[in-house]
Every structure is written in structure tokens, then in C-alpha cells.
Amino acid sequence: MTEQPDWLSNFVRIYNKLDKETLHLLEEIYHPDIQFSDPLHGINGLSNLSTYFSDMYSNVISCQFDIHHSLSQGDQAALYWTMRYRHNRLGKGREISVEGHSYLKIQDGKVILHRDYFDAGSLLYEHIPLMGVGVRWLKARISGEQTSGVNNKGAQACPKF
């Protein structure tokens, strides 16, 4: 991991402390006008983000982010991570691991823009009974179609449904 600026080190440190008992720490790292988005949500404002985190953590048994790499320049940064979490209603409470990355931008020393990128199927859909079977089948089908077929000299085949 590259040398992180103080604001980014603080962000990572606090993020890994978050649980349903420590959500008050969000105000230490997020700007009041935070714009947060991921493949499943778009949230504006610290109050709304706090509500989102509170709802999210209400059924989470544990959640930890392992930061593999970070890049920063000026008021922007990217974090590459693995999230490991356990949820009462997903995967029968077993640990689920998801790779992803985050784009962060600061203003006045706090994160004002947080955009997460990850596979929503790996995070959620694959772990919902019945739906999970379909999502895993579809992913396998698409993956299989892209690697099979005629010799296409390295070009990726379009998935067939």
C-alpha cells in the first residue's frame, strides 16, 4: 500500500471501527453534504447516510475491510479492498467475501464523495435463497460462454442467454 495522507489514514481507521455502536464516528470522516453511491444505493447528506448505515448494521454480525492498495492525489483517493461480512439473513450467517474499490473525494478535510464499485451479485443476490441459485447459474453461463466456442484470436465472445 502506498503512503496515505492523514485524512485517508483516518478514514480507513474509522471505517474499520464501524458497527451499530460506533455510527456516531461517521461525522468525523464524512462531510455534511456527502454524496454516497454504490451499485445498490444513492444517498445524499450525512443524516441520510447515518440512517442507511444504521439500517445496514442492524442485521450485520460482523464487517471488516482489508485494504490491499490505495492511490491518492490531492483531494482524491482510490481504495482497493476485500470486505468480509456476516449477516443474519444472508448465507446462513457464514462469512461472505467481496472484492471492490472505492473512489473518495474530500472537501474541508472530510469525504464529500464516496463511490463504491463491487459485484452486487457477490455481495447480496447470490446469498438470497432461490434468487441466489439463478444468479450463480447466470454468472456461470455467461462465464462459460465467454471462454468456449470457436477460436476468436483472443477476442471476448458476447454472452449468449
6-133 fold? Nuclear Transport Factor 2; Chain: A, (3.10.450)
What residue has cell string 455481495? Answer: 123
Higher pLDDT, 13 or 119: 13
Amino acid of residue 153: K
The answer to whether residues 2 and 69 touch, using CB atoms and an 8 Å cutoff, is yes
Return all residues near 97 (Cβ < 8 A) that are at least 6 apart.
82, 83, 84
| Cα 155 from Cα 151, distance rounded (Å) | 9
| Cα 50 from Cα 85, distance rounded (Å) | 19
Higher pLDDT, 117 or 88: 117
Q: Which of 15-24, 51-60, 86-95, 119-128 has the lowest mean pLDDT?
A: 119-128
Give the closest residue to 80 by CA, choosing from 156, 160, 4: 4
pLDDT at 107 over 50: yes
Residue ranges of domains in the chain: 6-133
